[in-house]
Amino acid sequence: MSDSKIKVLMVGPDRGVHGGISAIVNNYYEAGLDKRVDLKYIGTMKEGSRGKKLFVAATAYFKFLCSLGWCDVVHVNASSDSSIMRKSFFIRAAYRRNKKIVFHQHGGDFVNYFENQISEKRRRYLRRILDMSDVMLVLTPTWKEFFSGLTDEGKIRVFPNSIVTEGEVSENFAASHDLRKILFLGRICRDKGISELLEAVDEIHEEDKDVVLYIGGIYEEPEYKAELEKRSSYVKHIGWVQGKDKNKYLSECGIMAVPSYFEGFGMTVIEGMYSGLVVVGSEVGGIPDIISDGEDGILIPPKDAKALKNAMLRVMNDNSLAEKLRVSGHKKVEENYSAGVSVERLVNIYNSLV
């Protein structure tokens, strides 16, 4: 690597982990961030037993300390709860070495965690950690407003998630999307609205036997395995899909269901919109910042199976509405959520710090 390139030490979950942050980081690589800067990535978490996770975290921290002398900028990716507590050690170490710090907050449940789950002592500690960063990246204007009450508003930048908008994924938009094929991508657990989604699809299937729900994800709560299996004629578990397998479903399905209880941003929202699916999503977290209800998707209250059912039926039974929503959704993502644009912004942020 050329010495003229800014040296960036980035930390976050291992790039092979099933989750949003790993997908975002992989998109940065695909869009060429590692060609624009001298980038070293350290994975701080892998899936597995508690012992394995502790070993990975300890090893990552040691590698991080050894690399601090090399870098110009430290970029820390974190979600909510224990993730931000773990990452606080990395931020403190970088701060002690007078490194420029970009703190990238991805978590969708941070407000609940900060206000209801930790002590006042820990809240004061997290405020100090936030104050150590030179730039704080948040996913939506709503998050900027919240974090402005915890740290200096001047350093907070709204930095939405993005997807790669070239190649095979872009071809999905023109594919033949079947509005009676519903797609869900994400962790299979209560907080993602799986119970409400199954209830809604049960009722739709009673009226229309051609409706099929494809669920792509890993079982975070194993009790859902039996729930899916007893509906196996019209609910298909397709595992954690990526690459060509994911593109197959993004090109065939007509509706993307995102009935989460909370959501930082929702990568699947922009993936679905860009690929030409009509997204039906909960009005929580960053989703309303992406979807304009009735213009490029449909918003529903969280934890409301009836509203979810009615929204999906509305799309299935109105082809002109579905076409309007999918065309507008694709255009919005193309203009606002391209990974290439995000990489350009990141490089400019790094340059402004060094």
pLDDT, tens only, 37-79? 999 999 998 888 888 888 999 999 999 999 999 999 999 999 8
- Yes or no: say if 295 and 270 are a contact pair by the CB < 8 Å rule: no
pLDDT band (50, 70, 90) for residue 110: confident
pLDDT at 169 over 70: no
Lowest mean pLDDT among 32-36, 63-67, 159-163, 295-299: 159-163
Q: State pTM to two decimals.
A: 0.79
Rounded to 10 degrees, what is the CA torsion of 32, 218, 239, 242? 0
pLDDT at 245 over 60: yes
* H or E element in which residue 336 lies: helix 319-336
pLDDT at 20 over 80: no
Domain 7-162+338-353 matching CATH 3.40.1000.10: the answer reads: no
**In the predicted model, what is the mean pLDDT of residues 273-285?**
95
pLDDT at res. 23? 87
Q: Compute the distance between CA of residue 323 and CA of residue 215 in angstroms, rounded to an integer.
A: 23
Tell me, what amino acid is at 13?
Answer: P
pLDDT at 157 over 70: yes
pLDDT at 1 over 50: no
pLDDT at res. 265? 79
pLDDT at 3 over 60: no
pLDDT at 234 over 60: yes
Instruction: State the helix-helix crossing angle for 120-132 and 81-96, rounded to 10 degrees.
Output: 50
* Cα dihedral 218, 223, 229, 234 sign: negative
pLDDT band (50, 70, 90) for residue 13: very high
Across the beta sheet with 178-185, the strand order is 235-237, 212-216, 178-185, 253-258, 278-282, 298-300
Q: In a 3-state reduction of DSSP, which class is residue 71?
A: coil
pLDDT at res. 175? 75
**In the predicted model, what is the mean pLDDT of residues 199-220?**
96
Match 């790094």 to its residue by tokens: 350
What length is written for the chain? 354
Shared fold status for 7-162+338-353 and 168-336: yes
- What residue segments make up the domains of the chain, in order of their start? 7-162+338-353, 168-336
**In the predicted model, what is the mean pLDDT of residues 82-108?**
92
Buried b (16+ CB within 10 A) or exposed e, 287-317: bbbbbeeeebbbbbebbbbebbbbbbbebbe
Q: In a 3-state reduction of DSSP, which class is residue 207?
A: helix
The architecture of the domain spanning 168-336 is: 3-Layer(aba) Sandwich (3.40)
pLDDT band (50, 70, 90) for residue 170: low
DSSP letter at 262 equals -
Match 């508690």 to its residue by tokens: 50
pLDDT band (50, 70, 90) for residue 167: low
- Between 82 and 41, residue with greater pLDDT: 41
Question: What residues form DSSP beta bridges with 257?
Answer: 280
Q: Compute the distance between CA of residue 231 and CA of residue 175 in angstroms, rounded to an integer.
A: 28
Angle at 274 between CA 270 and CA 276, to 5 degrees: 120
**HSE-up of 154 (CA within 13 Å, CB side)?**
1
Counting DSSP H helices and E strands in the chain, the numbers are 16, 12
Question: What residues form DSSP beta bridges with 104?
Answer: 77, 137
pLDDT at res. 142? 86
Mean pLDDT of the chain: 92
